[in-house]
Structures are given as C-alpha cells and as structure tokens.
Amino acid sequence: MNALILKDKEVFPTDEVLENVLKNSYPAFARLRDELTATDVRIEWNYYNDGKAWMGKMLFKKKNLGWLQIYDGYCTTSCFFMERHLEAIDGLDITESIKTNFYQQKSSGKLTPMTVNIHTAEDIDDTLKMLDFKKKLK
C-alpha cells in the first residue's frame, strides 16, 4: 500500500500543493471538489497526528460522510459502513471491483471501509454515488 504524502504539518494542502502532488490526477480531484461543493459537501482539511498526514474530512452539514486521502499521483475517498448496510450496498450502482474490495476488507470495530481510488474523472461517479448513499443513512 502506498503511503500518504502530505506529511508536513506546516504545509496546508492548498490547490498549488495538491496540484504538485496529484500531478495528472489533479483535474479529477478538482472536478470532485467542485461536485462536492455543488452537493453541499465540504472538505475540511486537518493534520492528524496518528497518521502523521493531512486528510480531508468530507462533511454534509455536521455529518462526517468520509475521508479524502492524498497519495503520490492520485487520491482516494473512503466511507465507513456498518454491517446492517451490507445488503443495501450490494444494490449500489458502482463498479463491481469496489464492492468486491469492500466485502473483502477487514472491519475496524463495527465499521468496514469502502474506498474509491481517483485517478481520472471517470472514477468520480463512484465516489458521488457512495457519498449520496452515505448521506441518506440514519
């Protein structure tokens, strides 16, 4: 697994910083950010000491929908789901390999992570569907 790249606590992840580390996938990130903004989801950047890196918390109102992580040349979005959501997730209209990876993940307590790797604009739809599903959960 690749390591998170935004390790310097003193360097906030500005657009310029993100463009430098995301390289060719930056346009996909920029589109994702714009799509999130259009659906009232905001990215709150924080430096987390446990992972020693900057991560973006994707928030809808006060609800934490998931996490945005930055790697060298791409980013990922992750949402955590409970066991009771497994059946509904099976019906999600997202790429099958994402669902397969989700079902193979080890749970962390009562939660299981679903992760979408974002390299190109085509990868964004799965993230938006995942977040929309998460928004509707109680």
**What was the pLDDT predicted at 1?**
56
Q: Does domain 15-136 have CATH number 3.30.1050?
A: no
**What was the pLDDT predicted at 108?**
84
pLDDT along the chain (138 residues), means of 10: 88 97 97 96 97 96 96 97 92 95 90 96 94 92
CA distance 99 to 102: 5
24-to-5, 15, 68 alpha-carbon distances in Å? 16, 14, 17
What are the boundaries of each domain within the chain?
A: 15-136
The pTM score is: 0.91
- Which residue has 């497994």 as its token pair? 86
CA distance 73 to 25: 6
